[in-house]
Structure 1
């Protein structure tokens, strides 16, 4: 038996599939995603032996095989000599992964710039809508057309989690985030270009009527009275009337009116159900509810993106178009960007990006105290077949050091960019 207190080492030639290894190296000195992992294949064995180490530490408690084998031991019985060629391969692979991380970070930074630029347009048009309606609606139309054209021209799209600096003014964050998600969902549904633009404009203006709700009611931290609740619910009708006065299309005004209706008839203001609710309104309703769950007015009610989708499926399924809700999950994945997760390796990470056509293989920022936060490992599950997500975690349950490192977002916001991975 191996001792459980003292480190256990084996020679590289004694390594076997099923052993859990711990590499006493810096991340830059090996090509693996983690410094500790279970050996699952011959390719990992070959790479480990090619590192030129004289011994490798193993963890018997996490190993499936704990007895060293001499099956592959060289005839001399000596440890493997350091081989320059495998070392070069290791460095090349590490350099490639570092470059992928750099490109992804650059893509996310660009998405944040685009989101902030769009946010400024939303803020300006909201302020100008009543005074200069023609100018404001034209600005929004141009913004939505630009975003829609970018989406339609991008077959391999990444949905990125934005940093808090990319969110901008919180009062306009909700409208923009709903619009971006609605356009992404609309593209996934393969709606025509005109419908996609209507979805985007309706999403930006869906809460237009909130301008008539007093801040004391709109921002109230406690429960609303019946009178206050009735006042809040008027924003749908008020917004629809404002939209028509400003010259917005009827399909947009209808979506503003109906974005709180529910397919089972439990919504408001008219308790519409089923086919009485327009397609554009259905799209806006789904993403609006998702965003409200992730970014509620009061922090105490916040849930993770994973919990938001789970809640919508488990408790609110009858409220929404089933096909659209399923499509939203396929676009964002079971663990949408912003979700904190535990990996099969035992590591903790935060989903930062997902390809909308391959949502089960997202990219994650992984906690590793040995790597500076600014250079944190971005793990691509598509290119790491031995690693998978095992469960979602609550941000509040993270140890302080992990929480500070991963920096879960105060407000969950998304934008998109071209997939940085090769096809």
Structure 2
């Protein structure tokens, strides 16, 4: 139920459905969110927002006024009646209404990776429609509204809070999304995961997620036929492609999107050693979100399959990021590796038993011993029936000896196998 309350009555745990007054009178780019941290509450209380609309079905309700009055007489009879309620009546009592899907997708309560995969898949399906519409409207020259992507950011943020590995793992293994949309969703989730590892505030994590979604918006303004690239804008001529950072930034600034988001769009191809573009910025001259985006964007670029070749294995992509000395902020890169995992979901590893296996889930207690699913025998040089192994609980019977070389299984349709292994897990 929606309810209007005074700003002074706000409490942690409430779901803000709408902020009254002008969007420019408060520091929040979102119009709907769970009030889940004290800093955000303090910002709201000190803002010019006169009142808010809360949704009592998605957060706590306004507390009733405390009025001093004599306590009513106890009613022991009621308790005894409740205790004597016939079993048949209790069995026929209507069950409480189940929470809606929308509520579950914005909940931040922790879930196992297996349970979160289903939620993450629904988030991806819903988000694709929004992102495709935003990029299409940009192509048509329409103004970009921050509110249009708020639900996407909120649901990606919630998914990462529920389980930090599920959404990113899903994006590694899905093939049925056009590159531009898959890339936007993946980078958004990676930005939130990195922000969480850095212990940024929930508000800043959401801003980072929004930046990830919008990084390549400028591609829509390039003077090229995107259909000719098969949906993969990496095939655009480099001289033309470089303009997308500036074009996206200018459009986002004109649309009133928060400046940190627009700056990340401008700076995600800058490098801390000054070798990037469009301005060759160095070190902390690049904004925090810009330095974060450089890592997340490059990682996803490396692992994504192209039309003519398979992307790098996630663990190999991690190694390549580390080898690009001076390109990325070293502290942020360490946080990123910690956030995504030593062997990210989708990585192919070689086991001591002579089999290749794909990482299907992480073990946070022991990142070097994830859950894997075998699919290829090195001795027989052919695929084998999959066997699931939780390496942290196999008591030394098998272990990872290193990342597998793609050349070993280059003759098989690994993208198809990867998706099947992931789906079955």
Match of 1:184 in 2: 193
Q: Cα offset for 1:175? A: 0.7
Are positions 1:388 and 2:399 aligned together?
yes
Instruction: Classify 1:107/1:375 alpha carbon distance in 2 versus 1 (closer, same or farther; 3 Å).
Output: farther
Match of 1:21 in 2: none
Match of 2:351 in 1: 343
Measured in 2, the distance between the counterparts of 1:337 and 1:267 equals 29
Q: Cα offset for 1:282? A: 1.1
Are positions 1:329 and 2:337 aligned together?
yes
Matching residue within 223, 229, 234 for 1:219: 229
Measured in 2, the distance between the counterparts of 1:160 and 1:177 equals 6
Contact 2:113 2:163 in 1 (8 A): no
Q: Cα offset for 1:349? A: 0.6
Contact 1:111 1:160 in 2 (8 A): no
Instruction: Classify 1:304/1:104 alpha carbon distance in 2 versus 1 (closer, same or farther; 3 Å).
Output: same
Matching residue within 397, 407, 415 for 2:417: 407
Q: Cα offset for 1:385? A: 3.5
Deviations 1:179-227 (Å, cap 9, x if unpaired)?
Answer: 1111111111111122111111111010111112244689399x999xx
Deviations 1:303-353 (Å, cap 9, x if unpaired)?
Answer: 211211111112x13111111111221222232221111112222211122
Matching residue within 377, 385, 393 for 2:387: 377
Match of 1:284 in 2: 293
Contact 2:168 2:190 in 1 (8 A): no
Matching residue within 306, 327, 339 for 1:319: 327
Stretches of structure 2 that go unaligned for 5 or more consecutive residues are 1-111, 378-382
Q: Which has the higher contact order (CA 8 A, sep 6+)?
A: 1
Match of 1:147 in 2: 156
Instruction: Classify 1:404/1:229 alpha carbon distance in 2 versus 1 (closer, same or farther; 3 Å).
Output: closer
What secondary structure does 2:309 align onto?
Answer: helix
What is the TM-score normalised by the length of structure 2?
0.62
Measured in 2, the distance between the counterparts of 1:388 and 1:340 equals 13
What secondary structure does 2:369 align onto?
Answer: strand
How many residue pairs align between the two structures?
A: 302
What secondary structure does 2:213 align onto?
Answer: helix
Measured in 2, the distance between the counterparts of 1:397 and 1:262 equals 34
Match of 1:194 in 2: 203
Stretches of structure 1 that go unaligned for 5 or more consecutive residues are 1-102, 415-419
Match of 2:370 in 1: 362
Deviations 1:40-86 (Å, cap 9, x if unpaired)?
Answer: xxxxxxxxxxxxxxxxxxxxxxxxxxxxxxxxxxxxxxxxxxxxxxx
Are positions 1:258 and 2:273 aligned together?
no
RMSD of the TM alignment (CA)? Answer: 3.7
Structure ID, larger Rg: 1
Q: Cα offset for 1:275? A: 0.8
What is the TM-score normalised by the length of structure 1?
0.62
Measured in 1, the distance between the counterparts of 2:235 and 2:374 equals 41
**Structure 1 residues 294-309: aligned runs within 5 Å:** 294-295=303-304, 297-300=306-309, 302-309=311-318
